[in-house]
Structure 1
Amino acid sequence: MSPTTPQKITTMLMFEGQAEEAMTLYMSLFDDAEVIAISRYGPDGAGAEGSVEHATVSLAGQQLMCIDSVMQHDFSFTPSTSLFVNCTTEDEIDRLHAALSDGGEQLMPLGSYGFSTKFAWLNDRFGVSWQLNLA
C-alpha cells in the first residue's frame, strides 16, 4: 500500500473505558507505531471526559481504530477475530508474548506446532485476541 493510498478496511476495537491504556500498550510493542488521530470526549460529551471518542493508530504499518463506547454491552472481544503478527525473530515473539499475555489468557501456549516452530494464541488483558507466529 502506498503512503497516498488510504487503507480501505480497518479493524475497529471497541473498549469500555480502556482504549487509551490498550493503545499505549500496543504502541509500546512496535517500533513503528504512532497515533494518527485522536479525539476525546469533552466535559459535555456523551462519554467520560478525556476518554477516547475515536482514535486511529498505526502498528507496524497496519491501522487500527479504537473507541471507548459510551454504552455498556453484553459482549466483548472474541478469539474468532484476532490480530495475527508474523514475528521475524525469537526475541520479538518472546517479547510480544510476555507483554500481551500479562494479565491475559493463553489459548494456545507459546510452543512448536505442526504449522509453526514457534506460535502462541492469546487474549490480552483487554480481551483482544492475538496470534503470534515466528515466520
Structure 2
Amino acid sequence: MARAQKITTFLMFEGNAEEAMTFYTSLFDDAGIIDISRYGPGEDGPEGTVRLATFALAGQRFMCIDSYVNHAFGFTPAMSLFVDCADEDEIDRLHRQLAEQGQELMPLGSYGFSPKFGWVNDRFGVSWQLNLPA
C-alpha cells in the first residue's frame, strides 16, 4: 500500500483560493484540483469559499483554504515555490504568466548560479523562483 505524501505545502488565502488553484493548475502538467470542500450556509466562512482543498502541480500535492479571519500577515518571499524548468520556453512562459499583475523580484537573467533565473510574487502574493538548470 502506497503511503501518502507526509509533508504538504499549505497556502492560506483570504477569499481567492479557488481562483489561485485554477490559475496554478493551468500552468503545469500533471496538475489538477483533487478535492475541494466549501463553506455552506450558516458556517464560519462565507458561503461557497474554500474550507479546504487539495490540488497538484507537476504531481506535487498542495493544500489551501480561504481564511475567514482577516490576518495581519500574508505570503512572504521568505518562503517560495522553486521550479526547475525543462527549457527556455517553459521558464519564459511561467515567468510571463506568474508575473502578470504580480511583482517581479528578480528579472529573468543569468546570475552565475543559473544560466536563467527569475523570481516573482504572483497576483495572489505567492512567491515563485523559476530556474533553468545548467
TM-score range normalised by the length of the shorter chain? over 0.9
Q: CA deviation at 1:109?
A: 0.7
For 1:37 and 1:21, locate their aligned partners in 2 and report how far apart those are by CA, in whole Å: 15
For 2:38 and 2:2, locate their aligned partners in 1 and report how far apart those are by CA, in whole Å: 26
Q: CA deviation at 1:5?
A: 2.1
Q: CA deviation at 1:31?
A: 1.8
Provide the residue aligned with 1:35 in structure 2.
33
Provide the residue aligned with 1:84 in structure 2.
82
Provide the residue aligned with 2:22 in structure 1.
24
Unaligned stretches of 5+ residues in structure 1: none
- Total equivalences in the alignment: 133
> Matched residue of 1:96: which SS?
helix
After superposition, residues 76-115 of structure 1 pair within 5 angstroms as: 76-115=74-113
Provide the residue aligned with 1:127 in structure 2.
125
For 2:33 and 2:18, locate their aligned partners in 1 and report how far apart those are by CA, in whole Å: 11
> Matched residue of 2:115: which SS?
strand
One-letter amino acid of the counterpart of residue 44, structure 1: G
Q: CA deviation at 1:4?
A: 2.0
For 1:85 and 1:16, locate their aligned partners in 2 and report how far apart those are by CA, in whole Å: 25
Provide the residue aligned with 2:48 in structure 1.
50
Tell me which stretches of 4 or more aligned residues in structure 1 moved more than 4 Å: none
How high is the sequence identity, in percent, across the aligned residues? 68
Pairwise CA RMSD: 1.0
Provide the residue aligned with 1:10 in structure 2.
8
Unaligned stretches of 5+ residues in structure 2: none
For 2:132 and 2:36, locate their aligned partners in 1 and report how far apart those are by CA, in whole Å: 32
TM-score, normalised to structure 1's length? 0.95
TM-score, normalised to structure 2's length? 0.96
